[in-house]
């Protein structure tokens, strides 16, 4: 073997070794480590199994679901659709508190604006995008983005599907993912919040757990239940400790392939800043929610999402500060840099990349305050207005000079998004509240003498500007948006709609800042991150998995306990444990203000009908992260055995690295879901539909 090849082979082994831990990985369906699965479990999925599971799995706006019956039933987490459930509630019928069970299909509640997406095709356009060139990092970034948008529009025009660009391996690969979209979705079952989120935020990211975090939807086509060709059959048995579990889903974001400098930047700067901003948003929404029932119904789902995200983000920060956990990241980067230094070609092309990334991150810190002040988008109407005024402006430019998201295909997608039915009712009060807060925050960050503040306020107070902008706008109406879009450039550029006027003031400031970000931060990060990715490819190939990007993945693992609190955490909880947790907090005598461990009245009334040995929640070694919420857990037969809904506190380190000793996925047991539907909710027709009996 030639010396250079020998060096690379040895380093490839050293680099790959950390990723050979058996359960690690959020794998793309085209690159599953089937040999490794076969060696450990004596079985691996074939292409027919993978196609079936892929087509049964669905993407929701903030999570995952799956077809689970021949008549279009979809299973997901309660918390994935909680905001939508709350938006369907009224003062007279609180669906979160009381729960919802449709007695028949005529009572299933249509969920306006909810769309489910099924991945039906994939295309690798890596080589095509790589051919796009430019002189600077920013020009290369724009050229590659534009080429990707062109390819996206070609596939969209040819198929009629919704097409997204998916970047993998830090830009090492670029794919097109084509989705079939389902737009008529109706609520079938939503347990009471008290049982769906038993223990509330106190129990979040902990185990043992006792959640019934599930909901059932149904997809319709032409006002009839949709009949999917592929759906997951309900388990005819159940799981035991040690059984293989596979989780298809859409993990949102990991950063395991980041250079160490980016992780340290996240630890010391970006993540603490993100936490402060989330805390601010939560305080704003909580202040609004305190006004009345309707206000809380409108923003309660957002508050829950922020709470969940904050606990996770604080866990991410703790993992970045964990010296022992970060050691594997440091070792992997040191090995990669040694491999690059040992190869003359890679040393020239890739060697400076780490230094250039560190410089770009420092530049990003310098621009952070201005980005925060100018790019806050809590106002829905202002975001809509900015899109409206940019469409005609960008359309007049040659495609290579446009903002990449305003390619012809991008504009069509944006127009569809702007004119779709609303999923949550519009509130002028909430708009004024949020826009006022954003303008006050900009004043605090930049000072009242900043040119942006002078232009946007024009001598008025933030609340005056917000009130006038919201009161003088009709952009909350999809029909008005359609009229403006169909009217062409003259209508959107000359309209006196007050929110459009405000957007025309903000737009030039954002464009200047965007250009600076692309030149100083995003362009270099993308360019040199891609060079590092190419080096990793040259050494490792595709022996590992890409970071999560909210695109479809498959993880594999097993039901397995883990050490914690000085003992071993059990693999399953049961209804015995649920009742014990309830009684341990005082049962019906429990009267704390938050009532976190109270059972709903319906559950207490039917307590005697329960088989308390029924498995309720369980843990696996599957590697997941946010976005996998609602993912089905399937066995080697492709049957649904559970529903992923959370991870333990130790799993939060999975944003940056995987530690199989204690990283666990927490799931609702399929047997528990059926038992609740039957014995508590009396939904025997649904039980028959799910089981085929």
**pLDDT at residue 14, rounded to an integer:** 40
| CA 78 from centroid of its chain's CA atoms | 15
In whole angstroms, give the CA distance from residue 580 to residue 200: 16
Q: What percentage of the chain's residues is helix, strand, coil (to nearest 5)?
A: 55, 15, 30
Give the DSSP letter of residue 23. Answer: T
Helix 428-446 × helix 380-395 angle, to 10°: 80
Phi-psi region of 205 (alpha: psi -120 to 50; beta: other; left: phi over 0): left
Q: Which residues pair with 234 in a beta bridge?
A: 640
**pLDDT at residue 126, rounded to an integer:** 92
**Whether the Cβ atoms of residue 540 and residue 236 lie closer than 8 Å to each other:** no
Q: Which of 375, 337, 329 is nearest to 353 (CA)?
A: 337
User: Nearest 5 degrees, angle CA 17-CA 18-CA 22?
Assistant: 90
Task: Calculate the CA dihedral of residues 324, 328, 333, 339 and round it to 10 degrees.
Answer: 140
**Whether the Cβ atoms of residue 472 and residue 499 lie closer than 8 Å to each other:** yes
Q: Which residues pair with 173 in a beta bridge?
A: 168
In whole angstroms, give the CA distance from residue 298 to residue 296: 5
- Bond before 245 cis per omega within 30 degrees: no
Q: Which residue has the tokens 């020998």?
A: 6
Pull the structure tokens for residue 13: 């082994």
Please enumerate in sequence order all residues whose Cβ is within 8 A of that of 490, keeping only pairs 6 or more positions apart, or say none. none
**Whether the Cβ atoms of residue 240 and residue 616 lie closer than 8 Å to each other:** no
Phi-psi region of 623 (alpha: psi -120 to 50; beta: other; left: phi over 0): beta
Instruction: Give SS3 for 616.
Output: strand
Instruction: Give SS3 for 645.
Output: strand
CA distances 83 to 77, 289, 443, 521, Å, are 12, 13, 31, 35
In whole angstroms, give the CA distance from residue 429 to residue 74: 34
Strands of 594-658, DSSP E: 615-620, 632-634, 640-647
Q: What is the DSSP string of 228-279?
A: -S--PPBPSS---TT-EEEEEE------TTS-HHHHHHIIIIIHHHHHHHHH
pTM for the model: 0.83
Task: Break the chain into its structural domains and give their ranges.
Answer: 18-115+183-255+546-691, 264-321, 352-543
Instruction: Give SS3 for 116.
Output: strand
Give the DSSP letter of residue 136. Answer: S
Instruction: Give SS3 for 684.
Output: helix
In whole angstroms, give the CA distance from residue 322 to residue 70: 47
Instruction: Give SS3 for 151.
Output: helix
Give the DSSP letter of residue 59. Answer: E
Please enumerate in sequence order all residues whose Cβ is within 8 A of that of 359, keeping only pairs 6 or more positions apart, or say none. 524
**Whether the Cβ atoms of residue 658 and residue 21 lie closer than 8 Å to each other:** yes
**pLDDT at residue 13, rounded to an integer:** 37
In whole angstroms, give the CA distance from residue 576 to residue 585: 14
Q: Which residue has the tokens 């239940």?
A: 225
Helix 380-395 × helix 462-471 angle, to 10°: 70
CA distances 5 to 64, 332, 343, Å, are 43, 19, 9
**Whether the Cβ atoms of residue 386 and residue 507 lie closer than 8 Å to each other:** yes
**Whether the Cβ atoms of residue 182 and residue 588 lie closer than 8 Å to each other:** no
Regions in the chain scoring below 50 on pLDDT? 1-20, 593
Pick the CATH number of 18-115+183-255+546-691 from 3.40.50.720, 2.40.50.140, 2.40.10.120, 3.40.720.10: 2.40.10.120
Q: Which of 99, 54, 76, 172 is nearest to 549 (CA)?
A: 172
Q: Which of 665, 600, 524, 566 is nearest to 171 (CA)?
A: 524
In whole angstroms, give the CA distance from residue 626 to residue 624: 7
**Whether the Cβ atoms of residue 317 and residue 275 lie closer than 8 Å to each other:** yes
Strands of 494-571, DSSP E: 553-558, 562-564, 567-569
Pull the structure tokens for residue 383: 């975001």
- Bond before 208 cis per omega within 30 degrees: yes
């Amino acid at each position: 073997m030639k010396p250079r090849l020998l060096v690379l082979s040895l380093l490839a082994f050293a680099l790959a070794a950390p990723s050979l831990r058996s359960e690690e990985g959020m794998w793309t369906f085209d690159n599953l480590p089937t040999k490794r699965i076969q060696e450990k479990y004596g079985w691996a999925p074939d292409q027919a199994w993978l196609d079936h599971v892929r087509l049964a799995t669905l993407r929701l706006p903030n999570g995952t679901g799956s077809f689970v019956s021949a008549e279009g039933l979809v299973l997901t987490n309660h918390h994935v659709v909680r905001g939508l459930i709350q938006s369907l509630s009224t003062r007279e019928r609180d669906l979160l508190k009381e729960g919802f069970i449709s007695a028949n299909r005529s009572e299933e509640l249509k969920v306006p604006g909810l769309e489910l997406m099924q991945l039906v095709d994939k295309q690798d356009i890596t080589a095509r995008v790589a051919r796009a060139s430019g002189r600077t990092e920013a020009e290369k970034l724009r050229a590659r983005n534009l080429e990707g948008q062109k390819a996206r529009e070609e596939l969209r025009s040819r198929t009629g599907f919704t097409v997204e660009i998916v970047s993998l391996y830090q830009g090492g690969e670029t794919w097109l993912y084509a989705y079939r979209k389902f737009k008529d979705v109706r609520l079938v079952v939503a347990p009471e919040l008290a049982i769906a989120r038993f223990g509330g935020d106190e129990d979040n990211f902990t185990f043992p757990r006792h959640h019934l975090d599930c909901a059932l939807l149904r997809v319709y086509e032409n006002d009839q239940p949709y009949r999917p060709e592929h759906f997951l059959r309900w388990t005819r048995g159940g799981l035991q400790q040690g059984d293989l579990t596979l989780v298809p889903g859409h993990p949102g974001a990991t950063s395991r392939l980041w250079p160490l400098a980016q992780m340290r930047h996240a630890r010391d700067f970006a993540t603490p800043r993100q936490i402060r901003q989330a805390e601010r948003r939560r305080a704003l929404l909580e202040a609004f929610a305190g006004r009345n029932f309707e206000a809380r119904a409108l923003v309660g789902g957002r508050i829950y999402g922020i709470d969940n995200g904050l606990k996770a983000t604080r866990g991410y920060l703790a993992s970045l500060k964990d010296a022992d956990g970060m050691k594997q990241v440091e070792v992997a980067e040191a090995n990669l840099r040694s491999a690059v230094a040992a190869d003359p070609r890679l040393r020239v092309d890739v060697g400076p990349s780490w230094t250039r990334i560190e410089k770009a991150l420092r530049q990003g810190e310098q621009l952070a305050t201005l980005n925060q002040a100018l790019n806050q988008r809590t106002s829905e109407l202002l975001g809509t207005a900015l899109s409206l005024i940019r469409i005609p402006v960008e359309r007049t430019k040659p495609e290579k000079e446009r903002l990449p998201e305003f390619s012809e295909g991008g504009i069509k997608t944006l127009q569809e998004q702007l004119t779709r039915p609303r999923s949550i009712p519009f509130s002028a009060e909430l708009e004024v509240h949020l826009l006022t807060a954003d303008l006050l925050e900009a004043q605090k960050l930049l000072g009242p003498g900043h040119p942006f503040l002078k232009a946007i306020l024009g001598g008025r107070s933030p609340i005056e500007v917000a009130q006038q902008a919201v009161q003088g706008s009709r952009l909350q109406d999809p029909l008005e948006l359609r009229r403006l879009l169909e009217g062409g450039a003259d209508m959107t550029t000359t309209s006196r709609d007050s929110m459009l006027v405000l957007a025309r003031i903000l737009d030039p400031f954002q464009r200047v800042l965007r250009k600076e970000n692309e030149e100083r931060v995003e362009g270099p990060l993308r360019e040199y991150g891609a060079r590092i990715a190419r080096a990793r490819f040259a050494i490792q190939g595709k022996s590992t998995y890409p970071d999560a990007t909210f695109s479809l993945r498959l993880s594999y693992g097993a039901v397995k306990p883990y050490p914690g609190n000085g003992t071993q955490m059990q693999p399953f909880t049961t209804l015995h444990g649920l009742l014990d947790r309830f009684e341990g907090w005082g049962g019906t005598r429990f009267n704390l203000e938050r009532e976190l461990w109270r059972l709903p009245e319906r559950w207490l009334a039917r307590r005697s009908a329960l088989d308390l040995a029924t498995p309720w929640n369980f843990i696996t070694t599957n590697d997941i992260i946010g976005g996998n919420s609602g993912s089905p857990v399937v066995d080697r037969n492709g049957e649904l055995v559970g529903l992923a809904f959370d991870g333990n506190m130790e799993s939060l380190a999975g944003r940056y690295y995987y530690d199989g000793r204690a990283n666990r996925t927490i799931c609702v047991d399929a047997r528990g879901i059926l038992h609740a539907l039957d014995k508590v909710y009396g939904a025997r027709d649904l039980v028959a539909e799910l089981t085929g009996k």
